[in-house]
Amino acid sequence: LKVSAVFPKPINSEDVLLYLSYLSLGKVPILTDTSLQQGDDETFQPFRKLSRSLLTNRPFTERLQQVLETLVEQSRATAGILFHMNAQDNSIDVVSMVGDGEIHEQALPGLIASPVRDVIVDRNVVWENHVTRGNWGRFKNLLDFLRFESCIGVPVEAALRCEHALFLFHPQAEAFSRYRIRDTVASASLISIALESSYLNQRAISLNSILLSGQLSAAFSHEVYNKVQVLDYQFKNLKIDFEKISSNSCQEVKEDQINQYDLSLNDAIETVNGLVETVTGFRRLIDTKEELTEISVNTIVQMAKREIQPLANKQEIDITLDLDEDLPGAYGSQFGLYRVLLNLMLN
């Protein structure tokens, strides 16, 4: 007799069924590492397709949902959950969940003393197929959150830190073979990639805001310098004019001279008002907070044009607006739209 199949403990029923399907086709494979690889490829194919589909610019929540749905389907789990531990207070919450398990949110605070915390902090893998038989005490707080008998938990690392844990749950004992650990680790790697991409986008947005502020600051300083320099000349000229008036106090001042002095004074006042408006506009830009309100897109466009105009003047660029007066209002962040429009104009 020759050995045609060896199934390591714990025995995976799926491997046995796969082997029997070969026999039904008249094939009797010798299960070496090479012959097993085909089965692995077929089992792992959904994750390979998933990894390719994740190389898109879709939102993080959509990519995360797709990973969890694929993992739950392939593992036959009843629930898949991505947990997150807050770095400030160590509280644990649910980022996303797929499946039919009933969770009890009031038990979330207790997860700080549970395998969820252990997986994140110690970066260890949890694989338990009979919780109530031997490890009920360790899993008590997690059982208060969700009833299960089998579970797998793996850490999810991103940006050189670990703040997430990926868990699979099933109400029956012996529900997960050791091969499901491999699938869960692979899914955790895909989630890690999505997290890295999300962190990178957030960093890019932050740097873009800094760049935008720097460019506007440069334009602001240029415009203020120009106005102050003009004011210097205007006041020097006014001083000269009033000295002439003082020296000719006994003589009659002609009406055209008075008009000229009045015009010079009005020019100086206009320059001062322009300087105040420039400073006020920049202060408004810096102090604006993120608030969701009813906004007028046309008004925001005009505000952005006023802020960017000094930089455009410096570059000798004309900005012409063609606004639709019937454009409906919108609901959102006034400062967010303001920043987007400024960025577009700068580009």
Tell me how far apart the alpha carbons of residues 225 and 222 are, in angstroms, rounded to a whole number: 5
Reported for 95-101, long-range contacts at CB under 8 A and 24+ positions apart, including other chains, are 95/64, 95/164, 96/61, 96/64, 96/65, 96/68, 97/68, 98/65, 98/68, 98/69, 98/72, 99/72, 99/169, 101/146, 101/147, 101/148, 101/169
Phi and psi for 168 in degrees, rounded to 5?
A: -115, 145
pLDDT for position 155:
94
Taking only the tens place, the pLDDT of each residue in 24-36 is 656 555 444 433 3
Q: What is the pLDDT of residue 77?
A: 93
* Summary mean pLDDT of the chain: 75
Per-residue pLDDT tens over the stretch 291-343: 677 888 888 888 778 777 766 776 778 888 888 888 888 877 777 777 777 77
63-67, 203-207, 225-229, 259-263, range with the lowest pLDDT: 203-207
Enumerate residues 6+ apart whose C-beta is below 8 A from 329: 294, 295, 296, 297
Residue type, 186: A
- Examine the pLDDT at 240 and tell me if it is beyond 90: no
Nearest C-alpha neighbor of 170 from the set 107, 102, 77, 94: 77
192 contacts 158 by C-beta, under 8 angstroms? yes
Partners of 83 in beta bridges: 94, 165
Q: Report the alpha-carbon distance of residue 17 to residue 127 in Å, rounded.
A: 23
- Global pTM reads 0.51
| Residue 119 burial (10 A CB sphere; 0-12, 13-18, 19+) | buried
Q: In 10 A of CB 117, how many CB atoms?
A: 18
Strand stretches in the chain, DSSP E? 79-85, 92-99, 126-128, 150-158, 161-170, 292-295, 330-333
pLDDT tens digit string along 172-228?
999 998 888 888 888 888 888 888 877 776 665 555 555 555 656 656 666 666 666
Q: Report the percent of the chain where pLDDT is more than 90.
A: 21
| Per-residue pLDDT band at 62 (split at 50, 70, 90) | confident
The helix/strand/coil state of 83 is strand
Annotate 154-165 with DSSP letters as a single string: EEEEETTEEEEE
Report pLDDT for 38: 42
The DSSP secondary structure of 182-206, one letter per residue, reads: HHHHHHHHHHHHHHHHHHHHHHHHH
The mean per-residue pLDDT over the stretch 154-175 comes to 91
CA 84 → CA 77, 131, 196, 225, 279, distances in Å?
20, 23, 15, 50, 43
Residue 108 one-letter amino acid: L
Q: How far apart are CA 48 and CA 255, in angstroms?
A: 89
Torsion of CA 38, 40, 41, 42, to 10 degrees: 90
Tell whether the model's pLDDT for residue 89 goes beyond 70: yes
